[in-house]
């Protein structure tokens, strides 16, 4: 038996919503009261729970589609059985004998000629850091001399100065995302507030002749009595 999954009432004056992200894939099993899909409106985003346990089937609305309150957007098949939760662990595989290719190779020290070993000790080099060119991978005296020469040349040059970061090449990546109804409402109201705000400047002319004369008449007396100068706002 299939149970209909409908758009629930969101709030007063809201009759239409937008389908957001489906939290459960079609064909997957969902438990009762678990969130299935997100619906978006002008005032709130909310999760729609599963009315019954079962398999989600018959999805009729994709993300971004509009739906009205009470409309059926999917169904839940109650006859589907819940998946087993305790799957038996797989038996551990029997260890296999290591093949000849996996046998440990001879240590680097065993493939170093005596002359090369002396040079390695003199210059503080590790046998594993020097490429070997001798037969069977043996490290020769000439190999160590070559490594010492390359190291001395690198030290003479000094550390390279850090270069400027390379400028990005190719077209810039842009991504367009759908705005939710809630964000659309916020953006619309911000624009309306900016456009509807009163932007004006007023100028008022006042005759200050009497005030100026009074200040000139009493400024010295005011300064002697109070120790401060008489201003227009004093």
What residues have CB less than 8 Å from 129, skipping those under 6 apart? 147
Regarding whether 9 and 48 lie in a shared domain, the answer is yes
Please indicate, yes or no, if residue 82 is contained in any of the structural domains.
no
- Three-state secondary structure readout of 87-150: CCCCCCCCCCCCCHHHCCCCCHHHHECHHHHHHHHHHCCCHHHCCCCCHHHCECHHHHHHHHHH
Supply the pLDDT for residue 170.
63
What CATH number should be reported for the domain holding residue 15? 2.40.50.100
Supply the pLDDT for residue 212.
92
* Number of other residues whose CB lies within 10 A of the CB of residue 112: 23
Please indicate, yes or no, if residue 228 is contained in any of the structural domains.
no
Supply the pLDDT for residue 7.
92
Question: What's the pTM?
Answer: 0.45
Supply the pLDDT for residue 100.
44
Which of 61, 77, 93 lies at the terminal end of a domain, its last residue? 77
Please indicate, yes or no, if residue 137 is contained in any of the structural domains.
yes
Please indicate, yes or no, if residue 72 is contained in any of the structural domains.
yes
Please indicate, yes or no, if residue 150 is contained in any of the structural domains.
yes
Regarding whether 70 and 12 lie in a shared domain, the answer is yes
Regarding whether 67 and 122 lie in a shared domain, the answer is no
Report the DSSP beta bridge partners of residue 38.
Answer: 47
Q: What total of structural domains would you count in the chain?
A: 2
Please indicate, yes or no, if residue 200 is contained in any of the structural domains.
no
Radius of gyration of the chain (CA): 42
Laid out side by side, the sheet with 35-40 consists of: 45-49, 35-40, 16-22, 66-68
Supply the pLDDT for residue 109.
55
Digit-by-digit pLDDT tens for the chain (234 residues) are 789 999 999 888 888 999 988 999 999 999 999 999 999 988 888 899 999 999 999 999 998 899 999 999 999 998 888 887 654 444 445 545 444 444 444 445 547 777 777 788 888 888 878 888 877 777 888 888 888 888 888 877 766 555 556 666 667 788 887 788 888 888 888 998 888 887 788 889 999 999 999 999 999 998 898 888 888 876
Helix axes 141-157, 114-123, angle to 10 degrees: 20
The boundaries of the domain holding residue 63 are: 2-77
Choose among 83, 80, 84, 68: nearest CA to 2: 80
What CATH number should be reported for the domain holding residue 153? 4.10.320.10
Regarding whether 123 and 68 lie in a shared domain, the answer is no
Which of 119, 141, 157 lies at the terminal end of a domain, its last residue? 157
Supply the pLDDT for residue 74.
93
Alpha-helical segments (H) within the chain: 114-123, 141-157, 181-196, 209-226
């Amino acid at each position: 038996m299939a149970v209909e999954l409908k758009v629930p009432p969101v709030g007063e004056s809201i009759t239409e919503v937008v389908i957001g992200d489906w939290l459960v894939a079609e064909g997957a099993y969902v438990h009762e009261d678990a969130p299935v899909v997100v619906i978006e409106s002008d005032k709130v985003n909310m999760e729609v729970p599963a009315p019954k346990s079962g398999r989600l089937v018959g999805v009729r609305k994709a993300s971004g589609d509009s739906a009205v309150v009470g409309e059926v957007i999917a169904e839940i098949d109650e006859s589907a059985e819940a998946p087993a939760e305790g799957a038996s662990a797989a038996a551990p595989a029997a260890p296999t004998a290591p093949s000849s290719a996996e046998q440990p190779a001879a240590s680097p020290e065993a493939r170093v000629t005596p002359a090369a070993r002396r040079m390695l000790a003199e210059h503080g080099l590790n046998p594993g850091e020097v490429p070997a060119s001798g037969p069977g991978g043996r490290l020769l005296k000439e190999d160590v001399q070559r490594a010492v020469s390359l190291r001395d040349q690198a030290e003479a040059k000094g550390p390279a100065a850090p270069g400027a970061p390379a400028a990005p090449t190719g077209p810039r990546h842009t991504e367009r995302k759908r705005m939710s109804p809630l964000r659309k409402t916020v953006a619309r109201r911000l624009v309306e507030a900016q456009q509807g705000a009163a932007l004006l400047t007023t100028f008022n002319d006042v005759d200050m002749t009497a005030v100026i004369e009074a200040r000139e008449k009493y400024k010295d007396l005011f300064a002697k009595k109070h120790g401060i100068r008489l201003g227009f706002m004093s």
